[in-house]
Structures are given as C-alpha cells and as structure tokens.
C-alpha cells in the first residue's frame, strides 16, 4: 500500500490517495477520509450487511485492540486476515490500540508496557506481545505501539515517561516489522507523542525521523484520553501543537488523528493538513440518541445542527430525521417512530439513528474532499461553524 498526495504543503489542506493495495488492487481511498470505528469488529449497532444500505464504497475499518483482545488466541490459529475473520473481506482494516469512544484511564502505564481495558479487565501489552497480535491479525494498516496517555494537564514526568516508552516501542516494533514476511505489505503508522509540550514533541520527532523508511504515515497521539470529552476540546488549545508537528513531518506521509472530533474541528484539522480521521463521533452521538442534521450543501432543508430523538417534542413529528436525506432511516421512517423505538428501548432505535449518522458523516467527508479540490473549504467551515455556534446557544 502507498499514499500519494496531490500537494506537498507543510501545514495546509490537501488531497491524497491510498492505493496499490496488494490484497485489493482495485481499491483506492481518497483523502481526507474517515475510518469506520468498530467495536469487536462491527460498527456499533450496524452489521456489515446492514452497512451495505449505507454505502457500498470501499472503507477502512478501525479495529481497536481493546475490543478485539478476546479473539487474540483464536486469531493465532486462523490462517486468514482480520478482515476475513470479522466477515468483511472487502474492507481494509486498521489495527489501533485504544478505543476512541471510551475514556482511557490515566496513570496505569508502566515501564515499556501499555494497558488496555477489555471486557475481562486491564491487560498489559509490551512491544513483543503487541507485534505478536499484529502478525496474527494481518491488518492492512496498523499503528505502532505507543504510550499516548497524556492530555493538556499532564505533568512533565508523565510526558517524559510517554516519550521514553514510545521511542522504545517504535524501535522494537519497526525492527520486528522489517523482519516479518507476514507484515511485508502492511502499511505502518508511527505515533507522535509529547502531550502539549512543544519541546517534548520536537525531542520525540528527532528520535524517530532519522529512521522512517518503512513508515507510511504518522498518528498525532497524546492530545486527549479519548471518550466523549474529545468532542468539546477547544481547537485553540490543540492548534499550536498540531501545527508544530505538521511543520516537522515529511510532507509525503499520511497524517492521522483519532478521536470523536466535532465537525467544526474536523474541518479545522483538514485545513491544517490532516488526512485520516475516524467515525467514533457517530457512535458518541447515537449513544445520546442524537442525530446529525447540520446542512452540508446550501440546498439542505434544515435549521438545526443536531436533534435528540428522545425529546418528547418528536412524539408526533412525522418528518424524516433530515428532509432530503437519502439514507434508509430517512426514506422509510419518521422522527416519531424512531422516538417511540428509543423510548421503549427497542434495538431498532439506535440502529436507525446510527445508519443516519454514518451516512451523513460519510457525505460530510465527501463534501470536504470536493471543497478542498475546488478551494472552497473556508465557505464550508463558516457554514458549519455558524450552525454549531447557534446550536450551542440553544442548549
């Protein structure tokens, strides 16, 4: 797999393509793009079969190890890839460590080991055990192991430990990758850690940038501890950190960021040059019974940013979630019916909300790519920001 970028600016919006995928030579992914967040190999509330009602385009599935640890032993005896194992052989897979939807508990990291929280409790991974899993899963893309347990409040001591651990992981994982025939065609993404300390980030980059021959991209890690709080991070806080990192990264490498960023921050990050995100924001919204209704095109018939379908005012509202939306939920069901399903805790309720949210989010990224190509991203940014600010005022 290779990443081709159409422009090579240090810190500016850009278009790119992930292509030349050995197992799927006909597949290419245009960037800026979004990985589909999964838990246990499935998009929350949506089976792979149901997702075909949302889109039939090639997708990248984000596979957090935190949700797949229980399958580790089975995968050691399974000859196929993780995409075959989860029943989505036509999708690309990206193995990550933590689940961006769930808060990563702080203070549990130890020297050269990183914890994940599974259904069976806390499990530690070092570089060897992590790469054992990577080799058995055989993903198309994977993140190197990292100690990203930092945020804006992290101490100098925690950041220093994060750096030393991640540098060691980087060297050991990359050495293992180079020796592995199984992973010869896997696309490697290296983490960049250092919290909100610019000097720490620069120190880390100096430690790894001399040896990036087999690295296809970089993950900007350590900005948050995942979970719903990421949605409300102030862009002004992360902007200088992200900008400094991007100015020092090779321009021909994929740039990735994880987390349930709100649409305003997604556009801001795209404008800075981020190429790949994840769809955990869709899951966060669905868990609070919220549906995206912000206008993507000027012709979209909406005056709300998002709606909470548990609200009693939708009891007899027979409009679709979003007028003009072509997703299955909007073409076949009403707000009132979905409100009823959510109120009585029917499983179909969150399924329909999630179908709409993922459909709308994919459409949002399609619009972003069009705007970058036509140099009109700023107009979309103004529109989405205005809708977001109006929504915040009504809370």
Annotated binding site for Zn(2+): 325, 327, 330, 356
Q: The tokens of 380 are what?
A: 């979309």
Cα separation, 300 vs 3, in Å, equals 33
CA angle 16, 18, 22 (to 5 degrees): 160
Burial of 107 (0-12, 13-18, 19+ CB in 10 A): exposed
Tokens of 377: 């991203």
- Rounded to whole angstroms, the Cα distance separating 376 from 371 reads 5
* Nearest-angstrom CA–CA distance, 287 and 33: 23
Instruction: Give the count of beta carbons closer than 10 Å to the beta carbon of residue 250.
Output: 13
| Three-state DSSP state, 29 | strand
Yes or no: say if 270 and 264 are a contact pair by the CB < 8 Å rule.
no
Total Cβ atoms within 10 A of residue 273: 22
**Which residues fall in the annotated binding site?**
325, 327, 330, 356
Q: Strand 2-5's sheet: what is its strand order?
A: 2-5, 16-19, 29-31
Cβ atoms of 208 and 163 within 8 Å: the answer is: no
To which residue do tokens 């019916």 refer? 337
The tokens for 358 are 């993922």
Cβ-based neighbours of 69, under 8 Å, separated by 6 or more: 116, 118, 120, 123
Alpha helical stretches, state H, the chain: 48-51, 65-68, 72-76, 82-85, 127-137, 156-179, 198-208, 235-248, 263-272, 280-287, 328-332, 335-343, 348-374, 377-394
Q: How far apart (Å, rounded) are the C-alpha atoms in residues 371 and 66?
A: 35
């Amino acid at each position: 797999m290779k990443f081709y970028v159409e422009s090579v600016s240090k810190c500016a919006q850009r278009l790119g393509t992930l292509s030349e995928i050995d197992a799927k030579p006909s597949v290419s992914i245009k960037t800026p793009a979004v990985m589909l967040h999964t838990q246990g190999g499935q998009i929350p509330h949506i089976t792979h079969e149901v997702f075909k009602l949302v889109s039939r385009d090639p997708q990248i599935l984000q596979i957090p190890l935190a949700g797949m640890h229980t399958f580790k032993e089975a995968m050691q005896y399974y000859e196929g890839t993780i995409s075959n194992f989860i029943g989505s052989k036509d999708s690309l897979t990206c193995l990550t460590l933590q689940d961006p939807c769930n808060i990563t508990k702080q203070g549990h990291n130890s020297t050269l080991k990183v914890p994940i929280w599974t259904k069976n409790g806390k499990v530690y991974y070092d570089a060897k055990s992590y790469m054992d899993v990577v080799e058995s899963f055989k993903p198309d893309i994977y993140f190197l192991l990292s100690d990203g347990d930092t945020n804006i409040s992290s101490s100098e001591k925690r950041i220093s430990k994060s750096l030393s651990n991640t540098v060691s992981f980087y060297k050991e994982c990359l050495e293992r990758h180079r020796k592995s025939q199984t992973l010869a065609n896997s696309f490697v993404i290296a983490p960049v850690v250092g919290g909100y300390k610019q000097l720490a980030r620069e120190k880390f980059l100096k430690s790894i940038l001399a040896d990036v021959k087999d690295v296809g991209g970089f993950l900007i890690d350590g900005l948050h501890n995942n979970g719903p709080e990421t949605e409300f991070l102030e862009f002004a806080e992360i902007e200088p950190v992200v900008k400094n990192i991007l100015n020092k990264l090779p321009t021909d490498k994929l740039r990735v960021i994880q987390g349930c960023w709100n649409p305003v921050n997604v556009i801001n990050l795209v404008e800075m040059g981020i190429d790949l995100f994840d769809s955990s924001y869709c899951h966060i919204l669905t868990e609070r019974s919220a549906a995206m209704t912000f206008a993507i095109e000027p012709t979209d018939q909406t005056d709300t940013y998002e709606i909470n379908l548990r609200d009693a005012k939708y009891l007899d509202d027979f409009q679709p979630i979003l007028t003009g939306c072509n997703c299955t939920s909007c073409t076949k069901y009403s707000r009132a019916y979905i409100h009823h399903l959510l109120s009585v805790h029917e499983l179909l309720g969150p399924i329909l909300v999630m179908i709409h949210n993922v459909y709308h989010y994919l459409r949002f990224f399609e619009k972003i790519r069009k705007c970058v190509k036509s140099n009109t991203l700023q107009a979309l940014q103004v529109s989405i920001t205005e809708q977001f600010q109006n929504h915040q005022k009504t809370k």
